[in-house]
A and B are shown apart, each in its own frame.
Chain A
Amino acid sequence: MIRIDSVTKRYPDGTVAVDRLSLDIEDGSITVLVGPSGCGKTTTLRMINRMVEPSEGTILLDGADIRQQPVNTLRRSMGYVIQNAGLFQHRTIVDNIATVPRLLGWGKDRARARARELMERVGLDASLAKRYPYQLSGGQQQRVGVARALAADPPVLLMDEPFSAVDPVVRKGLQDELLRIQAELGKTIVFVTHDIDEAVKLGTMVAVLRTGGHLAQYAPPAELLSDPADAFVEDFLGSDRGIRRLSFFPSGALELQTAPVVALDADAGTIAARGSTSGAPYLLVADLDGRPLGWGDPKDLTAGEIEPGRLLSHGRPFVHGKDSLRAALDAAVLSPTGWAVGVDGTGRVVGVVSQQAVGEAIRSAHALDRGGEDARAVR
């Protein structure tokens, strides 16, 4: 565990970057430091590996003051990922990744073998090993940065806005990759960002800092969204925190209806019966494999002559049980019929659900949550 104990950083000109900050960072968690520029988040991160020395207070790593060990020993035991990757432009990818093992005195071959292993782990093609950083895209460079930080298998990973310089699509891929790697390796990660969405997506715990280095709130992301500590945190979370919070409620609790779903080869009787009894104004037509084709008015559907091309779009379905209520609500809102299509992991229709039913599920999820149940994150 990393314990930051009433740490203050004051610069010679009197500026206070961090003000009596105390945080306990649990082993195996992703702790995100988030806040506007000038809130001291990067300074805090850099105090953990002593690139910045605190003016007051102490930082303990597993109970021992970090100043007790030689500074370079400490740093080699903590992986560090920086914005724009900060790769060594004069070294090949494999040698970049092998940097810390080499500093620790590993032989060249062993360090390179380890580097190749990590390239695979972070999803880099082995053919890139002998390339130089300028030959890689921004996203690939950032993956190299992560691999380099992991090379010596450090228990702690410090990440300073690692994904903020890449485009949103690449960023999402890198975030998913980080969560996947973390699920495998269980490092203690301290992650700095100014992007609250990134904080909510990645964080086990999120520390919101305000300008001047004060801690505004330290809470799991679901709690941050449901109970912001003050107006600053609420403002920083943005206007649609209610919707975003739905990401933390699983869609498994939704009761999907199967009555409004008909197969492409349904007979006239079934279409008529489903159309009048299902309660849905439209019927969802699925192909013979069970994959959704689109919505049709029961009056217009003629048995044996259903033309998939003339059906209303079913929009993007949500994966029942895996996606969150946010995805289900989004699917319902975007659907031309107001009904969302739930599918299983292989894309086959499980059932459909109305906006109204999603709304009821949201209300009962909130009620449960207030009852003390922990909202389990669904990503």
Chain B
Amino acid sequence: MSGFFDIPSDLQHTYAGLIGLHLREALVPVLVGLVVSLPVAQLCVRFRWLYPPVLGVTTVLYAIPSLAFFVVLIDYTGQSETTVMIPLAVYSMVVLVPAIVEGVRSVPPETLAAATAMGFGPVRRYVQVQLPIAVPAIIAGLRVATVSSISLVSVGMLIGNQGALGNLLHDAQIYNRPELAVNSVVTTAVLAILADAALVAVRLLLTPWMPKESAAR
């Protein structure tokens, strides 16, 4: 008799293994997205004219269904985790670039002027003043990107069992075991909630300088 947590052997993973795989496929793209978004956002802040076209391009990329991405990418990266993660990284950039740009722009002009007047060079000013003050906005962006990435990983099931927990949906159909579908949905949701809570905790740790009322948001 097969139970809620009995994972069919064709997935080649235990339940815990699927969770680990799911988190890796969801979070690595967000990290990569963040690393790419930081310089892109800084360019957008530096050269104001660049921001609207960058925003336009990322929005169009967001409108491309992941399935279409897979079709193109399969020729290059095959039926692999990478093929799943590339679109997810692009999607997270769509959220992160504007979040970082708005965060960096929210630094009060007198704070920037004071930093310049005290002899901060542009790099030091960015790293020591603008970025730390943008942390709340960046983490707000990361929360959206992370949650959506965790839910989107499941689509990877369509390119040959690369969907981690999403693969359970497929197995639920072929083995006629609806409890696997429930397992997939509930576990994914719990992961998303936990990841979100972890990011809120990180924000609270990084920003002891925020007024308590607005930190509660």
Contacts and interface: CB of A to CB of B under 8 A. Distances in A.
A86 B116 contact: no
Contacts of B132: 90
B113 A86 contact: yes
Contacts of B119: 71-76, 100, 103
A132 B209 contact: yes
B210 interface: yes
Contacts of B115: 86, 88
B121 A87 contact: no
15 contacts: A49-B117, A51-B113, A51-B117, A75-B119, A82-B113, A84-B108, A84-B110, A86-B114, A89-B209, A90-B135, A90-B209, A100-B118, A133-B209, A134-B211, A148-B118
Contacts of A133: 209
Given A83-B110, A132-B208, A99 B118 contact: yes
Given A72-B119, A76-B118, A83-B110, 15 more contacts: A72-B120, A75-B116, A80-B118, A82-B110, A84-B108, A85-B110, A86-B111, A87-B114, A88-B111, A88-B115, A88-B129, A90-B209, A103-B119, A132-B208, A145-B114
B14 interface: no
B110 A90 contact: no
Contacts, number: 70
A277 to B, nearest CB: 64
A234 B118 CA distance: 37
B207 interface: yes
A329 to B, nearest CB: 40
B121 A158 contact: no
Interface residues on B, range: 20 to 34
Interface in A66-105: 71-76, 78, 80, 82-92, 99-100, 103
A357 B115 CA distance: 55
Interface residues on A, range: 20 to 34
A80 B209 contact: no
B131 to A, nearest CB: 10
Contact of B133 (A72, A90, A103, A132): A90
Interface in A183-232: none
Nearest to A84: B110
A83 B113 CA distance: 10
A91 B209 CA distance: 7
A72 to B, nearest CB: 4
B117 A80 contact: yes
Nearest to B117: A80
Contacts of B129: 88, 90
Interface string B182-217: 000000000000000000000000011111000000
A158 B117 contact: yes
A320 B115 CA distance: 46
Contacts of B207: 90
Nearest to A45: B117
Contact of B118 (A75, A83, A85): A75
